[in-house]
Structure 1
Amino acid sequence: MNKKIIVIGSSNTDLVVQSERLPKAGETIIGTSFFQNQGGKGANQAVAASRLGGDVTFVANVGNDAFGRNAITSYQEAGIDVNYIQLVGVPTGMAMINVDANAENCIVVVPGANNTLSKKNIDAIEKQLDENSIVLLQLEVPIQTVEYAILEAKNNGSTVILNPAPAQSIKEEVLTKVDIITPNETELELLTKIKVIDESTMLKAVNILHAKGIDTVIVTLGSKGCFVSTSTIKEYFSAPKVEAVDTTGAGDVFNGALTAHLSKGQSFEDTIQFALKAASKSVTKAGAQESIPLLSEL
């Protein structure tokens, strides 16, 4: 039987302005284009898991505004159960992104409704948490909520996958409840205080996470693929070579694909290869959610 996937995390609306150059302080310039995207690490991972074959429920807060209602509609269209997305009296999380002709950008993120995700949201899904569920989390909502969700999920028998991004510290007693953790090199350094410069320092850092009680550590390495460490595997996996157009959201696609494939009981090594293939496919198109491939494309 396939396991259900519960993604707990952030939902943002990205407002993107393109211009020949970035404005200086106090300056007004004329842009060349504008577009609006759905974003947020939680939402990106939920959409990826759903498009790639998972049975996904998304737990998030959005504003009771046009941005929030549009977000919910887009998640429904992606096949996601939206019954646990709440409309709250705080504006939807927003990212204002200015991109110049050289693809340099400056971004201002206002978490908005994401900052209201609380223990009540987690309590609302407690009946969904059992040994037939996989819970996927990131760190773009209040850390206390993430920590509470991990403890509740583990106490109810769920498998817990944590993508510790954006990097911040987590209580030791909570990390012991995580089954699979997927840091990049920066996040790995923050969690372990080890400067990762080669394979030996990578192994040293990874072993610190194992010592904290985490069974599976997957260090994502961008275009180089990932390093996987379990009790039986210590191995680099290469990513397929592609012509990258936009790497935004590739890590989120990796996490969503990983969770979707695991939920179907696929072998661990096949799951890693599938996640790398999905992430590589996503960087060949622009946009975070727009570039997430469908299962049929893989």
Structure 2
Amino acid sequence: MASSTLSHIVVVGSSNVDITAFVDRLPTPGETIAGGRLARDLGGKGANQAVAAAKLGGQVRMVGAVGADADGEWMRSEMVDAGVDVTDLLIVDAPTGNALIVVDAAAENQIAVCPGANDQVTVDGVAFAKDEAVLMQLEIALSVVEEVVAKAPGFIAVNAAPAQTLPERLLKRVDLFIVNETERELMPELADAALVAVTYGSEGAALYSHGKEIARAQGVSVDAVNTVGAGDSFCAALVLALQTGHSPADSLAAACAVGAAAVSHLASQPPFEHLSHYLPS
């Protein structure tokens, strides 16, 4: 039975400042595209997921690292304003991470990430409670992900992006992997995982248990302007919905609706309604 109170979530991951150029089309190798519009926004898969989970109504704390610079101060301030506990968001002697992004008129993108402080993310001294779900990504060192998997006693979800080979101990312990269809093809070992959510862009998403489809949700048709934060918002919504006790089908539908709301906004950390707004009625 679903609960009216949303889960506690610990997000362990990256925090970046997104420097985005919006252009008519993506440049080909060696080509310069003129006439763009530049934007600076907060991003990073970890920060995006933490902020989305908090805006959706979850109780969230962020484990990560930012620099002792203006961008790091901005990141911490905005997370606090969104309702995220930043006690474990370290300030380190390295620049806050950056992502250089190009987005075209069809909302397709190219991204180059400069990790900076994210290379110093650690969970030394960080405790995890059994009633806290943990959500991670692969923009931080795999060794940190493995350490969390070894010590966290509760539900663990990993957004396995960027794609890379996953060790057997992660495959056995992680409760939920979240990938897009390309990442799934690049990581065939996920076929044996307990639970894998796969996103298919505008076509929606499906949930697989040991390779067998157990739920599917259709995509929500919207006018997309920026797809950069859509997957992160999907991850936050899916973990919140599942952990609150909603069915796999309803949880997927809500996550797809949240992802659609995200692509309708230019920022990587857009505003959201409470999660209940996106659940099937």
Report the TM-score when normalising by structure 2: 0.86
Q: Bigger CA drift: 98-107 or 138-147?
A: 98-107
1:271 equivalent among 251, 256, 279: 251
Structure 2 segments unaligned to the other structure (5+ residues): none
Out of 221-230 and 263-272, give the one that drifted further.
263-272
RMSD across aligned positions (CA):
2.6
Q: 1:123 to 1:33 in 2, by over 3 A?
A: same
Match of 2:201 among 211, 214, 222: 222
User: Please, which runs of 5 or more residues in structure 1 have no aligned partner?
Assistant: 194-205
CA contact (8 A) 1:8 1:42 kept: yes
Question: What's the CA shift string for 1:17-63, capped at 9, x where partnerless?
Answer: 44677598597x87553221001111111111111111000101001
User: Which range moved further: 94-103 or 58-67?
Assistant: 94-103
C-alpha distance in structure 1 between counterparts of 2:108 and 2:220, whole Å:
26
Structure ranking higher in strand proportion = 2
The residue number in structure 2 matching 1:9 is 13
Q: Does 1:112 align with 2:116?
A: yes
Q: Which residue of 2 aligns with 1:84?
A: 88
> What's the CA shift for 1:108?
3.2
Is the Cα–Cα contact under 8 Å of residues 107 and 227 in structure 2 kept in the other structure?
Answer: no
Report the Cα offset of residue 165 of structure 1. Answer: 0.5
Q: Paired residue for 1:69, among 73, 77, 101?
A: 73
Larger radius of gyration: 1
Identity between Structure 1 and Structure 2 (%): 37
1:285 partner amino acid: H
Name the SS for the 2:173 alignment partner.
coil
2:177 aligned residue? 181
Distance 1:131 1:98, change over 3 A: closer
Alignment partners' CA distance in 2, 1:38 and 1:184? 22
| Counterpart residue number, 1:138 | 137
The question of whether the paired residues in 2 share the 8 Å contact of 1:62 and 1:113 is answered with: yes
Residue among 152, 157, 160 paired with 1:161? 157
Counterpart CA distance in 1 for 2:110 and 2:92 is: 28
Q: TM-score when scaled to structure 1? A: 0.82
CA distance in structure 1 between the partners assigned to 2:245 and 2:110 by the alignment: 41
Aligned residues: 271
Larger deviation, residues 173-182 vs 100-109: 100-109
